[in-house]
Structure 1
Amino acid sequence: MDFLQTSFETMLTYPSLLQMIGVVGFLTYVIGFGLVQNEKVCGNGIVYPASKVFAAICVLISLVGAFNLASCLIQLSYIVIGLYGIVIRHKKNRLDNPAKTEAKHATVPENIVLLTETSSQTLPEKELGRCG
């Protein structure tokens, strides 16, 4: 408990640090939203909700110095909903790609495909977080 109290007191001692953390959260929100609008990142992928959770945590930390109930509730909502979305997407990806999940746990795969330097295999856009 002393660690939490010391951390809290340290954060209050450096209000500019809290403000910088809040600005990082703000930038993460805005850049993530801009990437989705420019179709660089898919809003249905894991990248987008993960960025929202990160941003909300940053803004929530910044509220230690200047608490605002409404902002706190918004950030907590983003964290809960974002984590829920990440879990759902992770479960969906495991169901959609059972061979991929099984391959991770297999000791010796039956079919081995060797990729040479001349072969070009790219990840599908869906795995890169882009909408397909």
Structure 2
Amino acid sequence: MNLAWYDVVGLLGTLLILIAYFLLQARRLSGNGVAYPVLNLFGAAGVLVSLLGTFNLSVFLLETAWILVSAYGIWTSMRQRRIDGESHQSGGGK
């Protein structure tokens, strides 16, 4: 079996998504943290790269949505960290 470079990138992307999901289920990763959506974002991007070989519209739409949702998760997690840091520095508001 001959794999092109984009196939290898796609397989690595798939592995990243599966590893992230396994770590979430094993409670080794938080769904509210940054690591989970980052792994998913890079995984989905890898799968998108694999479409350079053979385009598939449904996979393209799924992985694009996966990237957008992951980016939103990263943004909300980072925003929450900033808010938590600001409230911690100001004495917690209690």
Q: Shorter chain as normaliser: what TM range? A: 0.7 to 0.9
Of 44, 48, 54 in structure 2, the residue corresponding to residue 66 of structure 1 is 54
What number of residue pairs does the alignment pair up?
89
Higher Rg: 1
TM-score, normalised relative to structure 2: 0.86
Segments of structure 2 that go 5 or more residues without pairing to the other structure are none
CA shift, 1:89, in A, is 1.0
- 2:43: which partner in 1? 55
- 2:30: which partner in 1? 42
Alpha-carbon distance between aligned partners in 2 of 1:101 and 1:85, rounded to the nearest angstrom = 24
- Opposite residue 73 of structure 1, the aligned amino acid is L
Alpha-carbon distance between aligned partners in 1 of 2:17 and 2:73, rounded to the nearest angstrom = 16
| Segments of 4+ moved more than 2 angstroms | 99-102
- 2:11: which partner in 1? 23
Give % identity. 32
Segments of structure 1 that go 5 or more residues without pairing to the other structure are 1-14, 103-132
CA shift, 1:101, in A, is 7.7
Alpha-carbon distance between aligned partners in 2 of 1:66 and 1:93, rounded to the nearest angstrom = 40
Question: Which protein has the bigger helix share?
Answer: 2
Report the CA distance shift for 1:88/1:65 in structure 2 as closer, same or farther (over 3 A): same
